[in-house]
Amino acid sequence: MRKSNRLFFIIILLILTLFGCQLVSHSSQLIQAKVIRVVDGDTFVAKVEGKEEKIRLLLVDTPETVHPQKPVEPFGKEASQFTKEKLRDQTVGLEFDVQERDKYGRLLAYVYLPDGSMLNELLLEKGLAQVVVFQPNVKYVDRFREIQKKARENKVGIWSE
């Protein structure tokens, strides 16, 4: 009985060690950004490594509110307000995918809030964004599509109309 208890204890210790290493490696990959202002639901400006940068959330698109040739779209104001509330006075973590910048020079990122939640996912959960794919950045596309599917099934936000 002692050997089995010892083996069980060693296995649990190994699992915890491996899990802990994954958490450390994930958080160490994040770049810190101090939010300056929110442009709209999927774009904001932040201080990144001492430089002011415009940041575009990866794999999500929120309804328009500031597009020069498009009217304000349904749920656009709600998406912008949600993003403002989540990012106001925050330092966030940025995770990049394959491509670091888009054709407009914006940083492309998955954005982690101080509580560890990802803003990109929260917007999808609330029905304030939809999945949009611009290759080659597809790291979380399957996960995001599942979140969007649930929001659509529950008729949340943009899926309520």
Q: Which residues are catalytic?
A: 56, 64, 106
Degrees, nearest 5: CA angle 54-56-61:
145
> Do residues 140 and 110 lie in contact, with contact meaning Cβ atoms separated by under 8 Å?
yes
**Distances in whole angstroms, Cα of residue 158 to Cα of each of 61, 128, 130, 153:** 11, 6, 8, 11
Q: 51-57 and 107-112 as β-strands: parallel, antiparallel, unpaired?
A: parallel
Residues whose CB is less than 8 angstroms from the CB of residue 23 and which lie 6 or more positions away in sequence, other chains included: none
Strand partners, 131: 60
Q: What is the distance of C-alpha 64 from the center of its chain? A: 18
